[in-house]
Amino acid sequence: MRVGVVTFPGSLDDRDAARAVRLAGGEAFALWHADADLHGVDAVVLPGGFSYGDYLRCGAIARFAPVMGPLVDAARGGLPVLGICNGFQLLCEAHLLPGALIRNDHRRFVCRDQPLAIERTDTPWTRGYAPGERIVVPLKNGEGGYVADERTLDELEGEGRVVARYLDDNPNGSYRAIAGVSNAAGNVVGLMPHPEHASEPGFGPDVRSGTDGLDGLRFFTSILDGLVRV
């Protein structure tokens, strides 16, 4: 029951993702970008940050890291993978998810407590949520605008692959207010906001958000519950 968390040079939220896995009751296993081996982990989190400084394009260099070879194969074979923020950008660059993430429409970095609707709940990462449930987790990025062509967007909507959508204001100009999507099978999920930062009492969104600040934890309990069941 081990959840691997990959560290690339420039990863920032890797320790936080590992902490969330532990808080959910799981074992976090550190994977290294230069090691082309998943060490038998049962699921993988690609954390937030600025891998390789986000030079060229966010995630564009990280997708060629040695660890990505076995990871892409395993993801195609059904391994649960969650890409958060930079991890989402990386999953798009690696073509495990459609679309791309571009600079926020207002051209500024934004850090705020973001309300979301969880729309797809049959993925291994979101099974703990009720369909349409409103949650609040931190959003923090400069390049979080989700874009894809109309056909792809229609396909994602038609196949129920929009995992999470921004509620209230669209914080970054994402098309159709999309905050997270999955692959067709549902095992690969990319999400711009940070559920790992709403997983520990006292260190997530405060009561101003109208929540207890723990709305993100179920991403991690979901995956562990699923793994236990299998």
**Chain contacts with other proteins (rule: CB under 8 A):** 9-10, 12-13, 15-16, 19, 48-50, 52-55, 108-112, 138, 140, 142, 194, 196-197, 200-204, 206-208
Q: Closest distance between other proteins and the C-beta of residue 145, in Å? A: 16
Give CA angle at 211 (2, 15), nearest 5°.
Answer: 30
From 33, 58, 85, 143, the catalytic residue = 85
Q: Given the complex with other proteins, which of 111 and 228 has the nearer CB atom?
A: 111
Q: Which residues contact 230 (CB under 8 A, 6 or more apart)?
A: none
Spot the catalytic one: 93, 119, 143, 196.
196
Annotation marks residue 95 as catalytic: no
Select 119 or 196, whichever has its Cβ closest to other proteins. 196
| Least Å from the CB of residue 108 to other proteins | 6
Of 66 and 201, the one with the shorter C-beta distance to other proteins is: 201
The first and second tokens of residue 186, run together, are: 């549902």
> Which of 39/106 has CB closer to other proteins?
106
The answer for residues whose C-beta is within 8 angstroms of residue 107's C-beta and 6 or more apart is none
In the residue annotation, 197 being an active-site residue is answered as no
Give the whole-angstrom CA distance, residue 37 versus residue 207: 41
85 included as an active-site residue: yes
Active site residues: 85, 194, 196
